[in-house]
Structure 1
Amino acid sequence: MNAFSVESRKEDKFKRRLQRIVVEEDLAMQRDLIQRAAAELDIDLLTCAAALVYLSQPNLYPAHKQQPKLLVSLPQSRGSHPGFKMVRYRLAVGSQHQVSRDDIQSVLVEESGVDKKRIGRIDIRDTHTLVELPDGMPADIFQLLTEAAIGPHRLNIKRVKPNKFRQTARIVQEEES
C-alpha cells in the first residue's frame, strides 16, 4: 500500500470526524475563540484552522513532520522510558482477535498521535493487551482510543491502576540486585 492511500484514508477519517462534530455539537464558543485568536495573532482563519489540524493530528502527514528528532534512542523492551512517566492501559483486543504488535502500534500512532518510540511495553494476552503509554493523555485522545478499532474489534481502552504489591516486589528485587 502506498503512502498516498494511507494519507487519503487518514484524511477521509478526519473529514468524517469533522462532519460528525459539526452536525452534533454547538460550536458557537469555539467559533468565537477562533475568530478572536486569528484577529489577535493577525492570521487568516484558514491558517488558524490549518494550525489546529496540525496540533490535533500531527501524524496526518508524517512525511511532512518537522518535529525535532530525539537525540537518545528509547528502549522498546521491558523497563521504563527515561524522562517519561509511563502509564499502563488495557485494550480489549488480544491474541484471540488475531492482532499483532504492529496493528496495535499503528492504531495508537494514528488515533492518538503518540510517537511510536514513546509506546512502551506491549503485552498481548489471550483476551486483552496491556500497553504502556506516556502519562498525561488528554481526555479527547483517550475517547478516540476508546472508540478506535482494529478490524471489527474496538480497543475500549481503560487505564490500569498500579498494583502496589507488584511495585513493592519490583523495588525489593532492584535493591537486591
Structure 2
Amino acid sequence: MNQMLQDSIDTTTDIATETAPPADTPAASPPDESPPAPSHPRFAKPQRVAFVQSAWHRDVVAECRIAFLDEIEARHILRDRVDIFEVPGSFEIPLHAQLLAKTRRYTAIVAAGLVVDGGIYRHEFVSDAVIKALMDVQLRTEVPVFSAVLTPQQFHETQAHFEFFRKHFATKGVEVATACAETLLSLERLRSQVAAGII
C-alpha cells in the first residue's frame, strides 16, 4: 500500500515537472486587445475652426471643448488650427459666430453652451433662438456651424447633475468633432466637383 502511494506521488511529481515552465522563463504577456486606432481621411486643404463657448457653467462646458480638441486632432485638424472664443452665455454665441464666419478665416464654427434656469418659457425661448440663429448664420455665410448647445429641462445645481452633464458634454464634444470633420470633408469634395463642372 505504501509503495503504491509512493509510486503515485512520484508520478505526480514527474508530470508536474514536465508541464511546468522553467522558473526563469517570463510569463507570456496577454495579447493586446485594444482595437486599432480608426483611420480618418485627410483634407486636401488646411482647415481652421472657431470654437465659441459659453462661460455660464464653464467647468461643465469645458468638457465639450476638451473632447472636441482630442477628436478633431485625431481627424487631422491640429489643435493650433482651432481658435477658442468665450462669451458670457449661450444667447451671445450667434452674433460672435456670424462675425467670425464673415471674416472668411474659418472653414467651420462650433458652438458650445448650457442653457438652464429662468423657468421653462425663458429656457425654451433661449434655446430656440440660439439654434435658429446658428442655422441662419450658416445659411447666410455658407460657413458650416455646429451646435453643442445643450438645453436640459431637468437641471439642478447638484453635484450629481454637474457630474452627469460633464460626461454628457464630453460625449457631445466627440460627436460635434465627428460631424464637423465629416461635413468639412463632404463640402470639400462637393466644392471640388462644382469647380470641375462635374455637378
Mark yes or no: TM-score above 0.5: no
TM normalised by structure 1 equals: 0.24
Which protein has greater RCO, CA pairs closer than 8 Å, 6+ apart?
A: 2
